[in-house]
Amino acid sequence: MGVETARDVGPSGIDVAFERFGAPDAPPLLLIMGLATQMLGWPDGFCEMLANCGVHVIRFDNRDVGLSIHLHDAPKANVMAAVQGDTSSASYVLADMAADAVGLLDALELDSAHIVGASMGGMIAQIVAIDHPERVRSLTSIMSTTGDTSVGRPTPAALGTLLSPPASSRDEAMDRAVKVFRIIGSPGFELDVDELRDRAGRAFDRANDPQGVARQMLAVIASPDRTAALRTVSAPTLVLHGADDSLVNVSGARATAEAIPGAEVVIIDGMGHDLPRALWPHITERIAELVARAESVVRARD
């Protein structure tokens, strides 16, 4: 359908760029992407595969990346201070980003949707389910964690990728993406270097904003542990994670599933902190199964 823009979204009144796949009258499914990653992180083919499962897929750029609003007038984000415990330079927290997602549902006149989030997007999706339970038909949390810093910890090498200098040119962005995903990607599956370079180049062309990425990182650091609040989640939930994720250790997935009543956890051998094409059928099938179960509950209630 092409990229569209919703204006004055949510309590913050921001502009949000989004794109849709599949039949508009199918059950809606909102995809929330992770730190520093535009909606392109949900590849077209993945979205089309999901849409072919009978859902109406909506992907969007979080604030401060891609074609959504960038808070250029916000105070400079001090990442190193935040890592050491001083989060005073944070312009927003993950709950504000969750409100953006709910605001997009409002703009699209959707009472509720199936919410799927990856990495930081999984954290945001969890908060949507905590703070706005009536808007969530099902929750899928992929390669994410609870906010408890004792679980889901990155390896030193993976942490280094987060703190490495940003790219200053299109070529650097493409080279950097390959270097990063050779560290945090899926060791059990071949890295599609050509696709990765193409996506990184397109993302650079759409928007290159290192300070926006820093503001997102501070939002993660400044947000509280969700473990206790996750116990209130009543939406049918799938927790999906790679056994070989070096950026968010699999303990984050197990803690998430333990906190959410009735959550199903699926750990995939060989998967790291990405979505390898070879796993798209398995991942989309799992999500579609959850959607079908949740939709049967909605129909029974109505």
Q: What is the pLDDT of residues 254-299, one digit of tens each?
A: 999 999 999 999 999 999 999 999 999 999 999 999 999 999 876 6
pLDDT at 263: 98
Residues of the chain with pLDDT under 50: none
pLDDT at 162: 86
pLDDT at 146: 98
CA 144/CA 94 separation, integer angstroms: 13
- Sign of dihedral through CA atoms 187, 188, 193, 195? negative
- The Cα diameter of the chain in Å comes to 54
Asked if 125 and 139 touch (Cβ cutoff 8 Å), the reply is yes
* Interacting residues of 187 by C-beta distance below 8 A, sequence separation 6+: 244, 270, 272
Residues in the chain: 302
- Give CATH superfamily name and number for 4-301: Alpha/Beta hydrolase fold, catalytic domain (3.40.50.1820)
pLDDT at 140: 99
pLDDT at 163: 86
Helices within the chain (DSSP H only): 44-51, 79-83, 94-107, 120-131, 156-163, 170-184, 193-206, 210-222, 227-230, 251-259, 280-301
CA 148/CA 168 separation, integer angstroms: 33
CA torsion 156→162→164→167, rounded to 10°? Answer: 150
Classified as helix, coil or strand, 241 is strand
Owner of token pair 């703070």: 131
